[in-house]
Structure 1
Amino acid sequence: MKADLHCHTVLSDGAMDIDQLLHYASRIHLDYIAIADHESTHSIPAACALGEELNLHVIPAVEIAARHKETGINVHLLCYYPADTKRLQKRLDKDLKLFSDSVIRSYQSLMDEYPITMDQLYEASRQSTGIYYTHIMQVLSLMGYTGQPIGELHRELFHPGSPHKFQTDYMDAMEAVRLIRSCGGVPVLAHPGQYKNPMLMEMMIEDHMMDGIELNHPRNDEKTMEQIKVLCKEHDLFMTGGTDFHGLYTTTPYPLGSFLCPEEGLERLIDAGKKANEAYYQKKAAKKDPEAD
């Protein structure tokens, strides 16, 4: 089974819309796909409906940014199979607004240097549920300041410590995990190779903050992947994989399907999703019926 479980659309910071992405997935013969837009569950209904038409299994997902208190690292958690997307999205909307506001501040800080307007930013982000740095780069690319949206100019403008980059205060990682579980979802740590801290995974495992770890990903080097395999075997966690597909919004080009989920990890994720959903609905039913066992 071919499964790419980490993709993005125009609803966050990807280049393709849902229809384009799923038809592309069908043409390359993927069996499973997960759209994990940042802080946005809005793709789920349309993606699941189109997936049925295309005979493509769509796993509901969202990617959530959170701050790991002990290390101060901003981590990304992939939430798979959320049952209560309404309550989940209500909480995520708070962080999405904070992030969008920080991106707008970044854009405004560039307006003295570049002849850009706010209308251009709003037009670039009109299909999205938030405003992302890719939308700033889309404006600058269209105006001819760069031929590569996520490249040298992007690094120059938004590197850590840049006067054009503003901090976003995300929710605590433990809060994010509790939110995922309470909404019937399955938490998986995304691209641990990105965080440059070999102890982070062990700390999060000790605190029971994930059911799985993303193994196959462009930013996981061989050393990180070996650590993931050892930890997952030791703690009985499953391993997933995905291309983190953004279309043209990427530094290094990786077509959809470049990084796939191991088959055993896919099976265990599907099983974990069923169990998490069942537990959620049982708990919900028990609340409605106080007499229920």
Structure 2
Amino acid sequence: MSTNTFNDSTVNHQTFVLIGIPGMEKRNPWMAFPLCLLYLLTLFGNAVILFVIKTERSLHEPMYLFLSILACSDLGLAISTMPTMLGVYWFDSREISFNVCITQMFFIHMFQWIESGILVAMAFDRFIAIRDPLRYTLILSNTVILKIGIAILSRAFCLLFPLPFLIKRLPFCKSNVLSHSYCLHPDTMKLACADITVNILYGLVIVMSTLGLDVVVILISYILILQTVLSIASHTERLKALNTCVSHVCAILIFYIPMLGVTVAHRFGRHLSPIVHMLMANIYIAVPPVLNPIVYSVKTKQIRQSICKMFQ
């Protein structure tokens, strides 16, 4: 008994084990095919969006410049997560070193916070476009958009910079098996055999100061947008103004609903099957980056026409 206690207190894992389909490891390759397809669609869709916005001069407007930043964020998130996910499901390569896990964790969270910040900037963009269309390009000049982009990137980096060090200081002498096929801070810190109060509090501060604040700002922006739209006399002009927001609203729902679903499942869905948790976790990471370019290609006339022109 004393020997086991001693061993538990001195062992510090240098690797973590990622998991695929819980209890059904032999069926992991079946999951690899849809994931690989999603990965290819993500790379192709976002690359097309970036190429079209870069080459089509009529798309050099604030809305589309923000969309190009969103596409870069989606590409970064896909590149950060998909290699290990495909490795787990396709090649049964489940071990990940401690430092690689921390690095992946940092980039996953950073790209998520960047995307949340971009959605806020796009809400502000829609508000200005509807509230003051004549001064739209003057207010949101290229310089202003560049400053907004730098501010979003700086916020994400500065908030997440301490995170790897908060994880690195912890000893890991319990199980080293993670709950997903990629590394997340809440998942990793639960395996530590030390007090993780600081990590929990810091994680809460980050979530409240990014996602919580961003959701409030987006809601306020759309309340102001609705007030402006309702003051327009023409019914046709109202519909036209609201139609310009449809793609952005879809992007908001695509980003926040899976995140909310995973959070609720972790807190209140412990009775659910592990397979349900696995599917929700994969949807949370893999689906938003592939849906965003599809939504904007289908719902935005200028992008749809430019893509058709490119392929013709």
TM, length-normalised to structure 2: 0.30
Considering only CA atoms, is the larger Rg found in Structure 1 or Structure 2? 2
Greater helix fraction, Structure 1 or Structure 2: 2
TM, length-normalised to structure 1: 0.31
| Highest RCO, 1 vs 2 (Cα 8 Å, sep ≥ 6) | 2
Greater strand fraction, Structure 1 or Structure 2: 1
